[in-house]
Amino acid sequence: MELHVRYEGDDDPEKCSARKLARFDLATLHRSARSTPSGIVLDPYADRALSPDDERDADSDRAGSHGRLVALDCSWETAEAEAFKLDGPHRSLPFLVAANPVNYGTPFQLNTVEAFAGALCILGHRDRAEEILGKFRWGHTFLELNDEPLRRYADCSDSTEVVEIQSEYLDD
């Protein structure tokens, strides 16, 4: 699965997980929405949760997103407006906890590599998630913190089931 990043460049380059992925040729950075290919857009403001069903849709290419995940790397203040400029089905990630040093332990505040890794696990590509997280000292911690929910989300048949499981974690 190809990983593409609409890169705004408004964060600390030393802490930017998207730039590190690009340095290792694990993701492609794009400086404009027009140059960013369509794919399943990881959008924290999307109305529908990512589910394994989205992988089946991408595989059949109904959404024009065959084998691509697209993330937006920008500040949280501009994320909503910038995300609307990206083509493809927009999907939010369900409840996951950040393991990166900046947002450790904070639900829903994932950096780009964590968002990709969470999405890859949900879509059945856990080996690829481990590969990209392996470039970060704390990467394995993300999978450890989120092991149970990621496995449960990956077993869902659709977005509705993902949201039901997410509710269990939010109720706790």
Q: Give me the residue spans of the domains in the chain.
A: 2-171
Give the whole-number percent of the chain exceeding pLDDT 70: 88
Q: Which residues are annotated as a binding site for S-adenosyl-L-methionine?
A: 17, 72, 93, 112
Judging by beta carbons within 10 Å of its beta carbon (0-12, 13-18, 19+), is residue 54 exposed, middle or buried? buried
Residue 118: CA count within 13 A, CB half-sphere = 33
pLDDT single digits (tens) 37-62:
999 999 988 999 999 998 766 544 44
pLDDT tens digits along 21-39: 999 999 999 988 888 899 9
**Residue 49 DSSP SS3:** strand
pLDDT at residue 116 greater than cutoff 60: yes
Q: What is the separation, in whole angstroms, between the first and last Cα of the chain?
A: 33
Cite the annotated binding site by residue number.
Answer: 17, 72, 93, 112
